[in-house]
A and B are shown apart, each in its own frame.
Chain A
């Protein structure tokens, strides 16, 4: 189990309080599809993903991004209990969606980068480190039930 210090939890929680989940979620998923185009394989039914502007403006991408980031919000609330929190979602991603867990790492890095664009100076190395730890731990939790 990953242990978060009080400082790490504070860094995560205080930044999360300022995150516009709908806006950031859309940006995170959009960037994933632009920067790592092979991740589009999971979204054949999302319509037009043919260019950066098409992807970033795509309403299905925005909606799904919001869904994903909202779920991530659960991680922030349960930082000490990520494996149980994401057990069901882990099975779902394995058995129904067939998502390679490597993608969770890629998405985690996109979260980091979008937070950096939004929070700039506030996104200090220490704050980044706390978030790196969280996204890595969530990626592990989501991969935990794979078989």
Chain B
């Protein structure tokens, strides 16, 4: 989700109006956060979090390193012609573990071995193969898919995490030896980067 010129203009105008109240609003926002979401207090065991506390009053950008790109390329290369099969398996695992994802496929036969799931798995795999080949410029390479997801499919962003996780599980099942912690980390980052691009035009 990239900021448009209108977005930037709105934010600047609003923040300008806030002026010297910014600090006061920051503290109030923190108090509201601690109140509504108590788990956030775990990060401030050293703070006095009572109302008016002096202390409260003052998604990770995760970029693919050269090592990450190398790991992803090597792993995806080894997968070779199994990519479509793994894509389908990852989808099946997603539907199985996260049944809410099925709501996006009311028109599919989702039973085991379904031809539609096989075909869709191949589609997903082919898109990922493209992404692997263009890791230096994912936004450009995936622009069409990004438009599709933003304006037509509108899959809620949470679902990309589910599919990414199931892709990792599928790869872990089929290539346990190659799926070292470092490769696992690189793939996790890669799928996360792809997901970010696919949801970048949502609003």
Chain A residues touching B, majority SS:
helix
Q: Interface size for chain B: under 10, 10 to 19, 20 to 34, or 35 or more residues? A: 20 to 34
Cα A120 to Cα B176 in complex, Å, equals 8
Q: How large is the interface on A (under 10, 10 to 19, 20 to 34, 35 or more residues)?
A: 20 to 34
- Residue numbers in B under 8 Å from A34 (CB-CB): 181-182, 184-185
- Determine if B123 is an interface residue (Cβ-Cβ < 8 Å): no
Closest 10 CB pairs of A and B: A116-B172, A117-B176, A34-B181, A125-B96, A98-B42, A132-B97, A35-B185, A129-B97, A129-B96, A98-B45
Q: Which of B180-203 contact A (CB under 8 A)?
A: 180-182, 184-185, 188
A65 lies within 8 A of chain B by Cβ: no
| Interface residues, chain A, with chain B CB atoms under 8 Å away | 30-31, 34-35, 38, 52, 55-56, 94, 98-102, 109, 112-114, 116-121, 123, 125-126, 128-129, 132-133, 143, 146-147
Write the nearest CB–CB distance from B159 to chain A, whole angstroms.
14
Would you list 22 pairs from A and B whose C-beta atoms are within 8 A, ordered by A residue?
A: A31-B181, A31-B184, A35-B181, A38-B60, A52-B181, A94-B42, A98-B41, A98-B42, A98-B43, A98-B45, A100-B40, A113-B179, A113-B184, A116-B172, A116-B173, A117-B176, A119-B173, A123-B173, A129-B96, A132-B97, A146-B39, A147-B38
CB <8 Å contact, A146 and B180: no
How far apart are A128's CB and chain B's nearest CB, in angstroms? 6
Bound Cα distance from A81 to B98, whole angstroms: 23
Chain B residues within an 8 Å CB radius of A102:
39
Chain B residue contacts of A56, Cβ below 8 A: 181
